[in-house]
Amino acid sequence: MNRIPMDKKTEGEGSPLPPVMGLFEHLLEEDNNGEGRYPASALSGDLLLPFSFEEMLCRDVGAGLILPSLHLWTHPGGVALGLRDSKLPGAARTMDKLESRGIRTAVRHSGGAAVPLDAGIVNVSLILPKSRGKQDFHDDFRLLAAIITEAVAVSHPEAATQIVAKEVVGSYCPGDFDLSIGGRKFCGIAQRRQSQAYFVHAFVVVSGSGQERGELIRSFYEDAAAGEHGLSYPQVRPETIAGLGELGGPTTTAAFCSGIREALARRATELIPSGRLERETGYKLEYTDQRVKDTAQMLRERYSQL
């Protein structure tokens, strides 16, 4: 069990952060009732655009065109599959059924298995250049796990002390660095590496029902297996999933994202918003850029069987 202690400084957990980082955000704008809308920059019917955006941002970080960066984003509603998920015998038909319900689907290129995406789930990505010398990729998992724990501690310190990093058996997209409270998972972490840079990515279930999301993924696998036995895929038990708001943590994505920004500030990392970066350096990257759209199409052709 890897419990992340909050009674001492966690700055030493994982790799150190750069002193200055870019900040790119594509988030739901919430109102006082917890409802919200998406600004034009975040709206997208294509589930692959956030992933292709990060692919291009990672390439630019590796080329030295832009600072190491933090990307915070949400999506109105979708299911992102792992490559193995897409090869299940009924996957294509099941994806079509989800699309008919307004739930977008795509096969993502980072590691892991199927996860839901919606307005109550915050995706957190650190995009960093590769350093010279040997580096254990688990250090980056530990780093992001520590930052997420520190973000929870900003507003809900008691909940943060209960966060444990270890695989939650029965959860969707299980892994060694699942983050949970009381045995119920609210976060999973994956990584994607390029030649000169990489990003470590987490989905964080903040608001709403974790069990309902678990049921969505459980039913996906049940349908995608198409009655065949002996197939290898996560055996999801929906009760193992929860939102932070159900676990005594932040209840809105706005509060959680504020905690992420504050956690980096406490680590003495300055975040420079994308608008300021454009004014000061001329660097600009949006979901609507043609190279982001082209990369999304490339990812679709490379990783999807559809």
What amino acid is encoded at 169 in this protein?
V
Six-digit token string for 215: 């049921």
User: Which one of 58, 173, 187, 257 is the catalytic residue?
Assistant: 173
Does 58 participate in catalysis according to the annotation? no
- DSSP of the chain: -EE--SSS--TTSSSPPPSEEEEEEE--EE-TTS-EE--TTT--S-TTHHHHHHHHHHHHHHTTSS--EEEEE--SEEEEEPHHHHTSTTHHHHHHHHHHTT-EEEE-SSSS--EEEETTEEEEEEEEEPPSS---HHHHHHHHHHHHHHHHHHH-HHHHTT-EES--TTSSS--TT-EEETTEEEEEEEEEE-SSEEEEEEEEE-SS-HHHHHHHHHHHHHHHTTT-SS-------GGGB--GGGTTS--SHHHHHHHHHHHHHHTT-EEEEHHHHHHHH-----TTSHHHHHHHHHHHHHH---
Would you please indicate which residues are annotated as catalytic (active-site) residues?
A: 173
